[in-house]
Amino acid sequence: MRIDIITCLPRLLESPFNDSILKRAQDKGRVEVYIHDLRDYSTDKHKKIDDYAFGGGAGMVMMIEPIDRCIRELKSSQSYDEIIYMSPDGQQFSQSMANELSLKKNIILLCGHYKGVDERVREHYITREISIGDYVLSGGELAAAVVADAIIRLIPGVLNDETSALTDSFQDGLVAPPVYTRPAEYDGLKVPEVLLSGHEKKIEEWRFEQSVKRTKQRRPEKE
Ligand code: SAH
Protein backbone atom coordinates (compact mmCIF):
# COMPACT_ATOMS: atom_id res chain seq x y z
CA MET A 1 0.00 0.00 0.00
CA ARG A 2 1.06 3.56 -0.68
CA ILE A 3 -0.07 6.59 1.36
CA ASP A 4 0.71 10.13 0.17
CA ILE A 5 0.14 12.91 2.68
CA ILE A 6 -0.14 16.49 1.47
CA THR A 7 0.61 19.14 4.09
CA CYS A 8 1.96 22.65 4.55
CA LEU A 9 3.71 21.52 7.77
CA PRO A 10 5.65 18.36 6.86
CA ARG A 11 7.71 18.46 10.04
CA LEU A 12 4.61 17.69 12.09
CA LEU A 13 4.47 14.31 10.38
CA GLU A 14 8.10 13.27 10.73
CA SER A 15 8.11 11.50 14.07
CA PRO A 16 4.90 9.44 13.85
CA PHE A 17 6.25 7.59 10.81
CA ASN A 18 9.80 7.25 12.04
CA ASP A 19 9.28 5.07 15.07
CA SER A 20 7.98 1.73 16.20
CA ILE A 21 5.36 -0.16 14.19
CA LEU A 22 4.88 2.47 11.48
CA LYS A 23 8.60 2.63 10.82
CA ARG A 24 8.95 -1.16 10.77
CA ALA A 25 6.01 -1.45 8.37
CA GLN A 26 7.89 0.79 5.92
CA ASP A 27 11.22 -0.95 6.50
CA LYS A 28 9.53 -4.29 5.77
CA GLY A 29 8.12 -2.84 2.54
CA ARG A 30 4.47 -3.32 3.62
CA VAL A 31 3.65 0.34 3.15
CA GLU A 32 5.21 3.36 1.48
CA VAL A 33 4.48 6.72 3.09
CA TYR A 34 5.36 9.94 1.24
CA ILE A 35 4.96 13.36 2.76
CA HIS A 36 4.59 16.26 0.32
CA ASP A 37 5.19 19.88 1.26
CA LEU A 38 2.49 22.01 -0.37
CA ARG A 39 4.87 24.95 -0.55
CA ASP A 40 6.91 23.03 -3.13
CA TYR A 41 3.88 23.32 -5.41
CA SER A 42 3.34 27.05 -4.97
CA THR A 43 4.09 29.23 -8.00
CA ASP A 44 4.36 32.27 -5.76
CA LYS A 45 7.85 33.63 -5.08
CA HIS A 46 7.21 33.62 -1.35
CA LYS A 47 5.84 30.05 -1.55
CA LYS A 48 2.47 31.28 -0.44
CA ILE A 49 -0.22 28.60 -0.13
CA ASP A 50 -3.05 30.54 1.50
CA ASP A 51 -4.94 33.79 1.08
CA TYR A 52 -7.73 35.86 2.61
CA ALA A 53 -11.27 34.52 2.43
CA PHE A 54 -13.53 36.06 -0.19
CA GLY A 55 -16.29 37.90 1.59
CA GLY A 56 -14.00 38.76 4.49
CA GLY A 57 -13.83 37.34 8.00
CA ALA A 58 -11.04 36.01 10.16
CA GLY A 59 -8.69 33.26 9.01
CA MET A 60 -6.79 32.31 5.90
CA VAL A 61 -7.94 29.78 3.31
CA MET A 62 -5.66 27.31 1.55
CA MET A 63 -5.52 28.03 -2.16
CA ILE A 64 -6.62 25.62 -4.85
CA GLU A 65 -3.59 25.92 -7.15
CA PRO A 66 -0.80 24.34 -5.04
CA ILE A 67 -3.17 21.51 -4.06
CA ASP A 68 -4.19 20.95 -7.68
CA ARG A 69 -0.57 20.91 -8.84
CA CYS A 70 0.46 18.45 -6.14
CA ILE A 71 -2.46 16.07 -6.77
CA ARG A 72 -1.92 16.28 -10.54
CA GLU A 73 1.74 15.37 -10.18
CA LEU A 74 0.92 12.41 -7.93
CA LYS A 75 -1.80 11.20 -10.29
CA SER A 76 0.60 11.35 -13.23
CA SER A 77 2.65 8.53 -11.67
CA GLN A 78 -0.10 6.32 -10.18
CA SER A 79 -3.84 6.21 -9.80
CA TYR A 80 -5.51 6.64 -6.43
CA ASP A 81 -8.39 4.72 -4.86
CA GLU A 82 -9.26 7.64 -2.60
CA ILE A 83 -8.28 11.28 -2.22
CA ILE A 84 -9.22 12.05 1.35
CA TYR A 85 -9.56 15.45 2.98
CA MET A 86 -9.18 15.51 6.75
CA SER A 87 -12.07 17.62 8.00
CA PRO A 88 -13.95 18.05 11.30
CA ASP A 89 -17.27 17.77 9.44
CA GLY A 90 -16.25 14.61 7.55
CA GLN A 91 -17.46 11.04 8.14
CA GLN A 92 -16.40 9.96 11.61
CA PHE A 93 -13.39 7.64 11.51
CA SER A 94 -13.92 4.11 12.88
CA GLN A 95 -12.26 0.71 13.00
CA SER A 96 -14.44 -0.51 10.14
CA MET A 97 -13.31 2.42 8.00
CA ALA A 98 -9.69 1.60 8.90
CA ASN A 99 -10.29 -2.00 7.82
CA GLU A 100 -11.80 -0.88 4.53
CA LEU A 101 -9.01 1.60 3.78
CA SER A 102 -6.29 -0.93 4.65
CA LEU A 103 -7.39 -2.92 1.58
CA LYS A 104 -6.77 -0.01 -0.82
CA LYS A 105 -3.68 0.27 -2.94
CA ASN A 106 -2.96 4.00 -3.08
CA ILE A 107 -4.55 6.79 -1.07
CA ILE A 108 -3.91 10.51 -0.60
CA LEU A 109 -4.56 12.27 2.71
CA LEU A 110 -4.88 16.05 2.38
CA CYS A 111 -4.30 18.07 5.55
CA GLY A 112 -5.98 21.43 5.92
CA HIS A 113 -4.82 24.35 8.03
CA TYR A 114 -6.12 27.77 9.02
CA LYS A 115 -9.79 27.97 7.95
CA GLY A 116 -9.40 24.91 5.74
CA VAL A 117 -9.14 24.53 1.96
CA ASP A 118 -10.94 26.40 -0.83
CA GLU A 119 -14.33 24.67 -1.19
CA ARG A 120 -13.64 23.93 -4.87
CA VAL A 121 -10.93 21.46 -3.78
CA ARG A 122 -13.49 19.59 -1.70
CA GLU A 123 -16.04 19.59 -4.48
CA HIS A 124 -13.83 18.57 -7.38
CA TYR A 125 -10.76 16.70 -6.14
CA ILE A 126 -11.77 14.96 -2.94
CA THR A 127 -13.44 11.53 -2.98
CA ARG A 128 -14.00 11.27 0.75
CA GLU A 129 -13.79 13.39 3.91
CA ILE A 130 -12.81 11.96 7.26
CA SER A 131 -13.06 13.45 10.75
CA ILE A 132 -11.34 11.91 13.76
CA GLY A 133 -14.00 13.31 16.09
CA ASP A 134 -16.28 16.24 16.81
CA TYR A 135 -13.63 18.72 17.87
CA VAL A 136 -11.44 21.12 15.90
CA LEU A 137 -7.68 20.67 15.58
CA SER A 138 -5.38 23.39 14.31
CA GLY A 139 -4.38 21.27 11.33
CA GLY A 140 -5.09 17.97 9.60
CA GLU A 141 -1.63 16.50 10.26
CA LEU A 142 -2.39 14.85 13.59
CA ALA A 143 -5.67 13.54 12.19
CA ALA A 144 -3.88 12.15 9.11
CA ALA A 145 -1.32 10.46 11.38
CA VAL A 146 -4.14 8.89 13.42
CA VAL A 147 -5.87 7.58 10.29
CA ALA A 148 -2.62 6.33 8.71
CA ASP A 149 -1.59 4.57 11.95
CA ALA A 150 -4.93 2.78 12.31
CA ILE A 151 -4.75 1.67 8.66
CA ILE A 152 -1.11 0.62 8.54
CA ARG A 153 -1.26 -1.68 11.57
CA LEU A 154 -4.01 -3.64 9.80
CA ILE A 155 -1.96 -4.37 6.67
CA PRO A 156 -1.07 -8.09 6.66
CA GLY A 157 2.47 -8.71 7.89
CA VAL A 158 2.77 -5.42 9.79
CA LEU A 159 1.89 -6.77 13.23
CA ASN A 160 3.29 -10.07 14.42
CA ASP A 161 1.15 -12.68 16.19
CA GLU A 162 1.78 -11.25 19.61
CA THR A 163 0.28 -7.92 18.75
CA SER A 164 -2.31 -9.26 16.31
CA ALA A 165 -4.95 -6.70 15.44
CA LEU A 166 -7.60 -9.42 15.59
CA THR A 167 -7.65 -9.36 19.38
CA ASP A 168 -7.97 -5.58 19.62
CA SER A 169 -11.06 -3.61 20.52
CA PHE A 170 -13.79 -3.17 17.87
CA GLN A 171 -12.26 -5.72 15.52
CA ASP A 172 -15.02 -8.18 16.45
CA GLY A 173 -17.50 -5.55 17.60
CA LEU A 174 -16.37 -5.94 21.22
CA VAL A 175 -13.86 -4.00 23.28
CA ALA A 176 -10.72 -5.83 24.47
CA PRO A 177 -10.64 -7.75 27.79
CA PRO A 178 -8.35 -6.58 30.63
CA VAL A 179 -4.69 -7.64 30.45
CA TYR A 180 -2.12 -8.29 33.18
CA THR A 181 1.59 -9.05 33.38
CA ARG A 182 4.17 -10.04 35.99
CA PRO A 183 4.22 -10.01 38.98
CA ALA A 184 1.16 -12.16 39.73
CA GLU A 185 0.77 -10.27 42.99
CA TYR A 186 1.84 -6.69 43.66
CA ASP A 187 1.36 -5.10 47.06
CA GLY A 188 -1.58 -7.45 47.68
CA LEU A 189 -3.12 -6.77 44.23
CA LYS A 190 -3.73 -10.09 42.51
CA VAL A 191 -4.13 -11.17 38.91
CA PRO A 192 -7.35 -13.16 38.21
CA GLU A 193 -6.66 -16.85 39.03
CA VAL A 194 -7.90 -18.17 35.71
CA LEU A 195 -5.11 -16.38 33.80
CA LEU A 196 -2.52 -18.29 35.82
CA SER A 197 -4.27 -21.64 35.38
CA GLY A 198 -2.71 -22.53 32.04
CA HIS A 199 -6.16 -23.76 30.99
CA GLU A 200 -6.44 -22.30 27.48
CA LYS A 201 -10.14 -22.92 26.97
CA LYS A 202 -11.10 -21.41 30.33
CA ILE A 203 -8.89 -18.40 29.66
CA GLU A 204 -10.48 -17.87 26.28
CA GLU A 205 -13.98 -18.09 27.82
CA TRP A 206 -13.03 -15.66 30.60
CA ARG A 207 -11.65 -13.17 28.09
CA PHE A 208 -14.76 -13.39 25.97
CA GLU A 209 -17.03 -12.85 29.02
CA GLN A 210 -14.95 -9.86 30.07
CA SER A 211 -15.13 -8.39 26.57
CA VAL A 212 -18.91 -8.76 26.50
CA LYS A 213 -19.24 -7.25 29.98
CA ARG A 214 -16.99 -4.31 29.15
CA THR A 215 -18.72 -3.65 25.86
CA LYS A 216 -22.07 -3.51 27.70
CA GLN A 217 -20.64 -1.09 30.24
CA ARG A 218 -18.51 1.12 28.01
CA ARG A 219 -20.07 0.94 24.56
CA PRO A 220 -23.69 -0.11 25.11
CA GLU A 221 -24.57 1.16 21.62
CA LYS A 222 -22.36 -1.56 20.07
CA GLU A 223 -24.52 -4.42 21.35
N1 SAH B 1 -12.86 26.10 9.81
C2 SAH B 1 -12.94 24.69 9.84
C3 SAH B 1 -11.85 24.09 10.74
C4 SAH B 1 -10.50 24.25 10.22
S5 SAH B 1 -9.36 23.49 11.26
C6 SAH B 1 -14.27 24.27 10.40
O7 SAH B 1 -14.80 24.98 11.24
O8 SAH B 1 -14.75 23.19 10.05
C9 SAH B 1 -7.98 23.31 10.20
C10 SAH B 1 -7.79 21.96 9.58
O11 SAH B 1 -7.56 21.00 10.57
C12 SAH B 1 -8.94 21.43 8.75
O13 SAH B 1 -8.89 21.91 7.44
C14 SAH B 1 -8.72 19.93 8.81
O15 SAH B 1 -7.83 19.50 7.79
C16 SAH B 1 -8.04 19.74 10.15
N17 SAH B 1 -8.93 19.24 11.21
C18 SAH B 1 -9.39 19.94 12.27
N19 SAH B 1 -10.16 19.20 13.07
C20 SAH B 1 -10.22 17.96 12.51
C21 SAH B 1 -10.88 16.74 12.86
N22 SAH B 1 -11.64 16.65 13.94
N23 SAH B 1 -10.69 15.68 12.05
C24 SAH B 1 -9.93 15.76 10.94
N25 SAH B 1 -9.29 16.90 10.56
C26 SAH B 1 -9.43 17.98 11.33
CA of 164 to the centre of ligand 1 (A): 32
Q: Which atom of ligand 1 is nearest to the CA of 85?
A: 15
CA of 17 to the centre of ligand 1 (A): 21
CA of 65 to the centre of ligand 1 (A): 20
Report the alpha-carbon distance of residue 46 to residue 159 in Å, rounded.
43
For ligand 1, atom 22, name the residue with the nearest CA. 88
pTM of the model: 0.96
Ligand 1 is surrounded, with C-beta below 6 A, by 86-89, 111-113, 115-116, 131-133, 135-137, 139-140, 143
Model pLDDT for residues 26-62, shown as the tens digit of each residue = 999 999 999 999 999 999 999 999 999 999 999 999 9
For ligand 1, atom 12, name the residue with the nearest CA. 112
Peptide bond preceding 66 in cis form (omega within 30 of 0):
no
Q: Which atom of ligand 1 is nearest to the CA of 130?
A: 24
Nearest to 69 by CA among 110, 108, 38: 38
Nearest to 85 by CA among 52, 123, 47, 51: 123
Contacts of residue 46, defined as CB under 8 A and 6 or more positions apart, other chains included, come to none
- What pLDDT score does 77 carry? 98
C-beta of residue 23 within 8 angstroms of C-beta of residue 127: no
For ligand 1, atom 17, name the residue with the nearest CA. 140
Residue range 55-71: mean pLDDT, rounded: 97
CA of 135 to the centre of ligand 1 (A): 8
Res 115 pLDDT > 90:
yes
